[in-house]
Amino acid sequence: MKRNPELTVRPLTGLPMFATGMSIAQAICASLAGEDDRLRDGDILVVAQKIVSKVEGRTRDLAAFVAAEKAHELAHATGRDPEMMQAILEESSQVLRRTPAAVIAAHRTGHVLANAGIDASNVEGGEAGRVLLWPLDPDASARVLRGELQKKCEVRIGVVIADSMGRAWRIGTLGHAIGCAGLTVLEDRRGRAQDLYGRTLQATVIGVADSVAAMAALAMGEGAEGTPAALVRGCERWVTEEDGPGAVSGLRPIEQDMFR
Amino acid sequence: MKRNPELTVRPLTGLPMFATGMSIAQAICASLAGEDDRLRDGDILVVAQKIVSKVEGRTRDLAAFVAAEKAHELAHATGRDPEMMQAILEESSQVLRRTPAAVIAAHRTGHVLANAGIDASNVEGGEAGRVLLWPLDPDASARVLRGELQKKCEVRIGVVIADSMGRAWRIGTLGHAIGCAGLTVLEDRRGRAQDLYGRTLQATVIGVADSVAAMAALAMGEGAEGTPAALVRGCERWVTEEDGPGAVSGLRPIEQDMFR
Ligand SMILES: Nc1nc2c(ncn2[C@@H]2O[C@H](COP(=O)(O)OP(=O)(O)O)[C@@H](O)[C@H]2O)c(=O)[nH]1
Ligand SMILES: Nc1nc2c(ncn2[C@@H]2O[C@H](COP(=O)(O)OP(=O)(O)O)[C@@H](O)[C@H]2O)c(=O)[nH]1
Ligand SMILES: [Mn+2]
Ligand SMILES: [Mn+2]
Ligand SMILES: [Mn+2]
Ligand SMILES: [Mn+2]
């Protein structure tokens, strides 16, 4: 009758509409208290990029971007708005692909995604040209949130900031880890673990943080659910004492990247 | 005190070493009975590609592949074994990239991954050149397994066959859905759902099956855990009556694919 431990993912209820300067840590603790729960050692808290950007004041009016020549060129090539193209260019280090359907860019941090992460859905004033940019440094944001929560609740937890991203070759978005603190981003089992026949694993590096982000994003939803955070339990083996190298450590170095 | 429903993922215990002709359905039911549990309506059962391939007799000796000219050319370009290159060519429709580090190919089904899914880890005789190919038609395998389980247990469930795959731009493997029956592969919310401010979602297509595969693969592990199946609960909203179009429906049509 021995059952394996379960992984559980629970979207948190009762979180407010976030705006510049609000405390995510405080809101999370209040939400958990309202559910008669609290953070425990080994928990991983996943929060949506959108609320981190909101509290960090990353809302912008598109009209405030002054399209330079490159932006006009991109707007011409894609049939899209020059100010939006300017915003993408300012947020990114490289445009990988540009079509009328999508502009795929490397965000300054190195993460590759559509529109360099700029998005208007679930943003107040989005219909009038307000957009939200990514946090300036999502790994730093994760470290700060972890520090606040660990202090407030006297626990050791992992924190992931997740954003929904498209992928090469496959349709549909998945949550991806764009900021991490206190968990193993990649579990490198090469040369360290065996298979069922005692042979050493040759090629296995597990994308732990992205897997956690994918399951949490599925639970949080993409529309009007109002659940921008999820609590993941059963992953204590990946929670670390140190903050660690962050989500950027999960990015393929450009010189090893075959798909640019 | 209202808590949201949780998603749970539990790797199943006590499953045997699988070999050609064995019944996965029977083993799953026995495992669940041994855990004092049974399949329920709305469950999603995720099984590893490896055991599906094993029961379908997809084990091959590399020595049995006769390397033709193209395979020798690929072996020369990558510094790898000509017979393995021949196996990859026979399993795939296109080689996207070839380097000493990896051969990225489109499997006959259209899924893009390293070595067209051919792998020797957790395969008996792997040290002596035995490899395992993908199931011939993973979506068909998922439909068959679903049919057997639904009949045996008188339930309505979803079935996912998952494999660990690498990705463009990011390090680390994630479980991906390579065969699906009875669940929504993609939840297309474009034009159908609203955001928090009542605006219609423009671009949101959720990769449901891949998200489920990612969380299940994290629970199943990649080495000697011996847990090639996981039970996912809390996803009943994505379980469908029909088998549906399968995992291939989640692949980007080649003409829309910007990363080939
Ligand atoms: N309570 C609350 N929920 C929000 C807020 N912003 C977004 N959400 C919710 O967070 C989840 C993810 O939203 P999404 O727009 O996909 O965020 P992203 O993936 O980080 O870009 C959904 O359930 C939204 O309804 C907010 O300010 N307050
Ligand atoms: N019980 C059992 N476990 C297996 C068998 N084959 C693989 N596994 C387990 O299934 C999980 C996934 O293995 P992996 O080799 O990564 O499979 P893949 O991702 O489908 O290629 C791990 O926990 C393995 O130990 C088998 O024949 N029997
Ligand atoms: Mn976003
Ligand atoms: Mn989202
Ligand atoms: Mn495999
Ligand atoms: Mn695997």
Distance from CA of B24 to the nearest CA of A (A): 18
Question: What would the CATH number be for the domain defined by B59-133?
Answer: 3.90.1660.10
Q: What is the pLDDT of residue B124?
A: 92
| DSSP 8-state secondary structure symbol assigned to residue A27 | H
Which atom from ligand 1 is nearest to the alpha carbon of B195? 25
Sign of the C-alpha dihedral, residues A185, A190, A193, A197?
positive
Contacts of B122 in chain A (CB under 8 A): 195-197
Q: Which fold has domain B7-56+136-250?
A: 60s Ribosomal Protein L30; Chain: A; (3.30.1330)
CB contact under 8 A, A195 and B169: no
Q: What is the pLDDT of residue A1?
A: 56
Confidence band, pLDDT 50/70/90 cuts, at residue B201: confident
A214 CA distance to ligand 1 middle (Å): 15
Distance from CA of B1 to the nearest CA of A (A): 4
Q: Rounded to an integer, what is the distance from CA A147 to the centroid of its chain?
A: 18
Give the Cα separation of B25 and A99 in Å (integer).
46
Name the residue among A193, A188, A7, A186 with its Cα closest to residue B122: A193
Average pLDDT over residues B200-221: 93
Cβ atoms of B229 and A260 within 8 Å: the answer is no
Q: Is B236 exposed, middle or buried (0-12, 13-18, 19+ CB in 10 A)?
A: middle
Within 10 angstroms of residue B132's Cβ, the number of other Cβ atoms is 24
Rg (CA), chain B: 19
Confidence band, pLDDT 50/70/90 cuts, at residue B204: confident
Mutational pocket test of ligand 2: of A190, A194, A196, the residue with most ligand atoms within 8 Å of the beta carbon: A196
B220 CA distance to ligand 6 middle (Å): 8
ipTM of the complex: 0.97
Question: What would the CATH number be for the domain defined by A9-57+135-250?
Answer: 3.30.1330.100
* Residue ranges covered by each domain of chain A: 9-57+135-250, 59-133
Residues lining ion ligand 3 (Cβ < 5 A) are A 49, 119, 163
Give the Cα separation of B29 and B153 in Å (integer).
8
Within 10 angstroms of residue B227's Cβ, the number of other Cβ atoms is 18
Cβ atoms of A154 and A128 within 8 Å: the answer is no
Can you tell me which residue has the tokens 């208290």? A33
- For residue B36, is pLDDT > 90? yes
- For residue A3, is pLDDT > 80? no
Residues with CB under 6 A from ligand 2: A 196; B 15, 17-18, 48-51, 54, 119, 121-122, 163-164, 220-222, 224-228
Give the Cα separation of A259 and B104 in Å (integer).
11
Instruction: Give tens-digit pLDDT for B232-253.
Output: 999 999 999 999 999 999 999 9
* B16 token code pair: 């045997």
Instruction: Give tens-digit pLDDT for B145-200.
Output: 999 999 999 999 999 999 999 999 999 999 999 999 999 999 988 887 888 988 88
